[in-house]
Amino acid sequence: RTIEVYVEVDNQKQTTPLLPGTFVHARIEGPVLERVFAIPRDAIINNHILLAKSEIDSPVTQQQIEPLDTLENLAILKAGLKDGDQLILTNLDVLYRDPADKQLPNPDEQRSLTINHETNLKEFLREEDQIFIKIQDCQ
């Protein structure tokens, strides 16, 4: 893999300086993170993510997370996910505001949604809305 970097080398032992455009073989040391997940940053809302199983009638869970770090559009998580969890990536404005409200939200309105561990997708979706839920396996 080739990347372009700008470095300042303090090497008294070498008489020839490192010139611009020179190719070098280098080892860059950094921390090795094991058992972490990289997820899209926009899947995180107020330090929470939404998890679901692939079956539409499985409950949605809201999981609190603390990202270790961010890298461009990714967030690095150490905790909050486990192998086999499925992360909901798409906007969930197609869900009702709460189970007692049987009206679908106006798509032009911005709605907030609080989901707890008992929320069931099947109760809140019309058949045609199911296409809006995309899940990605975290493995």
Where do the structural domains in the chain lie, given as residue ranges? 47-64+83-137
pLDDT of residue 54: 58
* Confidence at residue 17, expressed as pLDDT on a 0 to 100 scale: 74
Rg (alpha carbons) of the chain, rounded to whole number: 23
pLDDT of residue 95: 45
For 74, counting Cβ atoms within 10 Å of its Cβ (0-12 exposed, 13-18 middle, 19+ buried), the class is middle
Name every residue whose Cβ is closer than 8 Å to that of residue 19 and which is 6 or more positions away in sequence.
Answer: none
Cα dihedral sign, 80-83-88-89:
positive
Q: Classify the C-alpha dihedral 3-4-6-12 as positive or negative.
A: positive
Nearest by Cα to 115 from 54, 51, 57, 66: 51
The pTM (predicted TM-score) of the whole model is 0.47
The reported pLDDT for the residue numbered 55 is: 60
Instruction: Chunk the chain into consecutive blocks of 10 residues (it has 139) and report each block's average pLDDT, rounded to whole numbers.
Output: 72 78 78 80 83 65 84 82 74 49 42 40 45 36
- Type of residue numbered 6: Y
